[in-house]
Structure 1
Amino acid sequence: MYSKDQASQLKQAFWTAFGQYMGPVMSADGLRTNWINYKTGVKHIYFKMQADNKMASIAIEISHPDIELQELFFEQFATYKAMLHSTLEEEWEWQLHTTDEYGKTISRIYTELKPVSIFQKEDWPKLISFFKPRMIALDEFWSNAKYAFEA
């Protein structure tokens, strides 16, 4: 068991290492990208990577406070479902109206990797191998699909 401080330091060390590993990778548009805090450019749409002591997940999160608009965004993504899954080369889970860790209603499209722990350095290669190709694929997908969400 780790203290809060040790757990925080390990998480920070992992995300720093991941950021350095992804640093040389350019976006689908040929630009430098902050892969950890990926900017979609569309308010309320986020690409989120998370890892804890049991699992890792990567998700497209739609957090619009207006539930009907959130649903509209989700339906828009659904029209791009074949393109998304084709770019990712796998199918992800789709959840309309769930709650995040703060109790806020969100919708998400995600996949998980279990069992892995961000606190076990021997799991870091698995985590990087999980996150890297999926973030690159999400970026490629978004490079083509984002214009439909900007209006």
Structure 2
Amino acid sequence: MLNKEESKQARLEFWQRLTSKTRRLPGQKGRKRFWIFENTGIKGLDLRFDVDREKARVALEINSNNEDRRLMLFEKLEAAKSVFEAAFGEPLIWDFAYEKPTGESVCRVYVETPGDILNESLWPDMLFFLIDRMIKMEAAFLEVKDYMQANINE
């Protein structure tokens, strides 16, 4: 059992390893890989890594503070579900009322695998899962990005 400081250090090391691994992706030639979630071009829509003591997740998250906008974006994405999942290559979990540990309600489309951020022996599989699925999630998002951007402010 890790104490609070050891737990904090393990979490920090996990995220540092993930960052380090994303710098050496095929085709990057040593350049740092910047995930699209840094700027999807749609306000309130992000691609996220989420890792805790039970699971590792890769998610497309709609986190607009405006509930009507959040639900409108989710419905629009859901209308493109077949295209999105075909581009992703596997079924996804669609949740219009996902509650984050902070109590915040968001809409999420995600995939998950068992894992524990504090169990270093699980990290290699978790890191592979996160990177592989984020690449797929980005590709799926790019397939529907133009559709998602069209008429979102009307």
The TM-score bracket by the shorter chain reads 0.7 to 0.9
Shift in Å, 1:132? 1.3
Compared with structure 1, are the counterparts of its residues 37 and 73 closer, same or farther at alpha carbon in structure 2 (3 Å cutoff)?
Answer: closer
Q: How many residues end up aligned between the 2 structures? A: 147
- Who is 2:72 aligned against? 72
Give SS of 2:111's match. strand
Shift in Å, 1:72? 0.8
- Who is 1:149 aligned against? 148
Distance in structure 2 (CA, Å) of the matches to 1:9 and 1:50: 17
- Shifted more, 17-26 versus 59-68: the winner is 17-26
Shift in Å, 1:50? 1.4
Unaligned runs of 5+ in 1: none
- 8 Å Cα contact 2:84/2:143 also seen in 1: no
Give yes or no for the alignment of 1:2 onto 2:2: yes
Distance in structure 1 (CA, Å) of the matches to 2:21 and 2:75: 34
Q: Which runs of 4+ in 1 moved over 4 A?
A: none
Distance in structure 2 (CA, Å) of the matches to 1:47 and 1:100: 15
**CA deviations over 1:16-42 (Å, ceiling 9, x no partner):** 111111113379xxx954339643232
Distance in structure 1 (CA, Å) of the matches to 2:142 and 2:36: 17
| Root-mean-square deviation (Å) | 2.3
- Who is 1:88 aligned against? 88
TM-score by length of 1: 0.85
Give yes or no for the alignment of 1:16 onto 2:16: yes
Distance in structure 1 (CA, Å) of the matches to 2:4 and 2:17: 20
- Identical residues among aligned pairs (%): 22
Give SS of 2:83's match. helix
- Shifted more, 119-128 versus 35-44: the winner is 35-44
Unaligned runs of 5+ in 2: none
- Who is 2:105 aligned against? 105
Distance in structure 1 (CA, Å) of the matches to 2:131 and 2:107: 23
Distance in structure 1 (CA, Å) of the matches to 2:131 and 2:75: 27
- 8 Å Cα contact 2:93/2:110 also seen in 1: yes
